[in-house]
Structure 1
Amino acid sequence: MPADLAIVTDSTAYLPQDAVDRHGITVVPLSVAVGDEALVDGVEISPKDVAEAMRAKRRVTTSRPSPETFAAAYRAAAEAGALGVVSLHLSAELSGTCEAARLAAAEAPIPVRVVDTRLIGMALGYSVLAAAEAAEAGLSLDEATAAAANRASLTSGFFYVDTLEYLRRGGRIGAARALLGSALAVKPLLHLSGGRIEPLEKVRTASRAIARLEEIAVERAGDREVDITVHHLAAEDRAEPLAERLRERVPGLRELVLSEVGAVIGAHAGPGLLAVVLSPRSR
C-alpha cells in the first residue's frame, strides 16, 4: 500500500486475513458482549463462541467502536505518512459505526472520507478492496472513494436464516418483521436493500430455501465477471456444497471465498445463517 493513502474499515467486513495484510488495511473492531462480558470481535470471541452462547440462550449484544478508537487509527495513518484516509463501514441503518467514524474524521489531522457502504460482511469487504486497489493504482483520495462507492453500488447480499428470532431480538429485522407471524411455517430469504434487512421471498422448507438462494445467485450473476462470497455461521455442512455448486454454475466467476461470519453478524443472525454475497467487477 502506498504511504500517501490509507484504507480503514471495521471488523464486520470479514476480509480474508491475507487480503488485509497484502493491502495494509486497518481493521477497527466492534465489540460483542456475552452476558456482562465485553469482548473484541475477531480477537477475544470467535464465531463458535457466539453460536454456543446463542444456543444456550445467553444474552449476546454488540456495540460500535468509540470515536476515540477511530481517531487513533487516523492519527496512526497520518504518522505513517498517509495524506488521506478512505474509511469504509457497515450500513448506518444497522450500526452507529459510521457515526463514530465521522466524529473522529472531523478532528483528524489529514482528510478522511467516511463511506457508509450500506452493506455488511464481504459485501462491505469488496468495497474496501476496491478502495485499496484504487489507492495502489495511484488514484487520488476522491477517486479511490468513488471506486469504493461504485463497487458498493454493484454488490448485493442474500441470506437465509433458520429463524428470525435473533434478528428480532437485536432490532435489526426491519420490514422482515412482517414475516414473524408465519415464521414457523416458512423459511425466509432476506436481502440487503437500502442498507436495511428486508424480506425477499418465503420458502416452505430449509432445503428449498437454500436451493432458491443458489438460483438467485446464479440468476443475478448472469454472464458478468463476478466475485462471490458464501458466508455461514455454524453451517459449514451447508455452505461448502453451496460454494462448490456456485463454482460450477457461474460462468464469469473470478474469485470465490467461503467464510464463517464473525461475532457481530452472528450475534444478530444466529446459528444456521447462510448467505451469498455477489459483487460484479463492472456493470
Structure 2
Amino acid sequence: MGIRLYADNACDLDKDLLDELGVKLFYLTTNINDNTYKDRLDLSPQKFYELISKPDVMPTTAQIPPIEFQNEFEKVIKETDDDIIYVAFSSGLSGTYQSAYIAGESVDPNRITVIDSQSASVGYGLTVIRAAEALKAGKNKQEIIEEIKDNINRMQHLFIVGNFEMLKRGGRVSATSATIGNLLNIKLILHLEDGKIYPLEKVHGLKKAKRRMLDIMNERGYNLKDQLIGINYSNDYEGALTIRDLIQKKFGCEKFIISEIGATIGSHVGAGTYSIFFLSE
C-alpha cells in the first residue's frame, strides 16, 4: 500500500518541480474574456500578465467542483491499494477544500485525507514540498499528516501589493482609494491569519515596503538561516531577486524557492506583487 499526494495549482509551484516531487495536481480555472484556462497547464504566468495588462480585463477564478475530485478519488481507490492525501488551497480563500472533503467522504473517508492548508501560493507550496519529502523519506501516513499540520501551524505569509489596479477592478478598493494609493506610491503589506488575507501595514515606497517585510520576518521567524524560504512575484523577477539578496544578507539564508504568481492567485492581486514565506517557532 502506497500514498498518493495531491495539491492544486494555487500552490504556485511549477509543474516540473511537482512532477519531480511526485505530487499530482488538481486545477482551479481562470476565466478571461470568455476563455477558460488552467493555470500553468495551458496558461503561463507570463501570458496571464500580458492578458490582464489590457484595460478593463477582469479575470475570475472558479473552484474545483466535487465531481472532479470524486472521479479521481474513485479511480485511485478502485484501481490501487494506495491511500490519498490532498493538501488543499485555503478554505478561507476558496471553496475547493470543501468540495474535496465532500468527495473524499463520499468515496472512502478511511483512505482519503483532505487537509486545509490554510495557505496560498508558495506558502502553501512549502507545505506540499515538506509533505513530499516526508513521503520520499518513507514516513507513514500519520507521520506525513503530522508534518503537514506542523507546517500549517507555523507558516508565515507576507505580501506586498504593489499596484491598486487589480484591487480596484475586483471591487476590493474604491477607484478613489486606488488612484490616491498609486499617486502617493503607497504599498500594502498583508498577511494571512487562519487562512484569510488581512491588511497589516501601509508603507510609502516599494524599497521601504521590502525592508519592512524583512523586519516583520525577523520578528516572527525562527531559525531562518536553516529554512527553505519561499519568495514569489508577479511580473518582476528582478524584484524577487532583490528580496532574496536582502534576506540572504540579513539572515544568512541559503535555501530559496522563487516562483512567479500564477493566474489563480494573480487574478486577485495583479502585477507588482511580492511575497515571502517562512516558518515561525
TM bracket, shorter-chain basis: 0.7 to 0.9
Residues 81 and 248 of structure 1: CA distance in aligned 2, closer, same or farther (over 3 Å): farther
Partner Cα separation in structure 2 for residue 267 and residue 21 of structure 1: 25
SS of the residue 2:20 aligns to: helix
Residues 82 and 212 of structure 1: CA distance in aligned 2, closer, same or farther (over 3 Å): farther
How far the C-alpha of 1:133 sits from its partner, in A, is: 2.7
Map of 1:91-106 to 2, 5 A cutoff? 91-106=90-105
Identify the residue that residue 28 of structure 1 maps to in structure 2.
26
How far the C-alpha of 1:150 sits from its partner, in A, is: 0.9
* Paired AA for residue 112 in structure 1: I
SS of the residue 1:94 aligns to: coil
Identify the residue that residue 274 of structure 1 maps to in structure 2.
274
Identify the residue that residue 256 of structure 1 maps to in structure 2.
256
Partner Cα separation in structure 2 for residue 75 and residue 92 of structure 1: 23
Map of 1:20-169 to 2, 5 A cutoff? 20-57=18-55, 58-79=57-78, 81-109=80-108, 111-167=111-167, 169=169
Identify the residue that residue 190 of structure 1 maps to in structure 2.
190
Identify the residue that residue 208 of structure 1 maps to in structure 2.
208
Identify the residue that residue 245 of structure 1 maps to in structure 2.
246
8 Å CA contact 1:123, 1:278 repeated in 2: yes
SS of the residue 1:6 aligns to: strand
- Could you state the TM-score of these two structures normalised by the residue count of structure 1? 0.87
8 Å CA contact 1:223, 1:250 repeated in 2: no
SS of the residue 2:80 aligns to: coil
How far the C-alpha of 1:266 sits from its partner, in A, is: 0.8
Structure 2, unmatched stretches of 5+, are none
How far the C-alpha of 1:84 sits from its partner, in A, is: 1.5
How far the C-alpha of 1:46 sits from its partner, in A, is: 1.7
Q: What do the CA deviations read for 1:45-70 (whole angstroms, capped 9, x no partner)? A: 12122222222131210011121221
Structure 1, unmatched stretches of 5+, are none
SS of the residue 2:158 aligns to: strand
Residues 39 and 246 of structure 1: CA distance in aligned 2, closer, same or farther (over 3 Å): same
- Aligned-residue sequence identity (percent) comes to 24
How far the C-alpha of 1:180 sits from its partner, in A, is: 4.8
Q: What do the CA deviations read for 1:28-57 (whole angstroms, capped 9, x no partner)? A: 011000021111111121212222222213
Partner Cα separation in structure 2 for residue 101 and residue 11 of structure 1: 14
- Could you state the TM-score of these two structures normalised by the residue count of structure 2? 0.87
Q: What do the CA deviations read for 1:96-124 (whole angstroms, capped 9, x no partner)? A: 11011112112224621111111011111
How far the C-alpha of 1:200 sits from its partner, in A, is: 1.2
Partner Cα separation in structure 1 for residue 169 and residue 93 of structure 2: 13
How far the C-alpha of 1:155 sits from its partner, in A, is: 0.9
Q: What do the CA deviations read for 1:143-184 (whole angstroms, capped 9, x no partner)? A: 32221011111111101112344246547x6xx99x958634
8 Å CA contact 1:227, 1:255 repeated in 2: yes
Q: What do the CA deviations read for 1:66-108 (whole angstroms, capped 9, x no partner)? A: 2122123323433563432111111111111101111211222
8 Å CA contact 1:167, 1:268 repeated in 2: yes
SS of the residue 1:42 aligns to: coil
How far the C-alpha of 1:16 sits from its partner, in A, is: 4.0
Identify the residue that residue 6 of structure 2 maps to in structure 1.
8
8 Å CA contact 2:30, 2:59 repeated in 1: yes
Partner Cα separation in structure 1 for residue 202 and residue 105 of structure 2: 44
SS of the residue 2:106 aligns to: coil
How far the C-alpha of 1:275 sits from its partner, in A, is: 0.7
How far the C-alpha of 1:239 sits from its partner, in A, is: 1.0
How far the C-alpha of 1:279 sits from its partner, in A, is: 3.3
**Stretches of 4+ moved more than 6 A in 1?**
none
8 Å CA contact 2:222, 2:279 repeated in 1: no
How far the C-alpha of 1:245 sits from its partner, in A, is: 2.4
Give the paired residue count. Answer: 274
Partner Cα separation in structure 2 for residue 163 and residue 152 of structure 1: 28
- Stretch of structure 1 that moved more, 127-136 or 254-263: 127-136
Partner Cα separation in structure 1 for residue 257 and residue 241 of structure 2: 10
Partner Cα separation in structure 2 for residue 112 and residue 278 of structure 1: 28
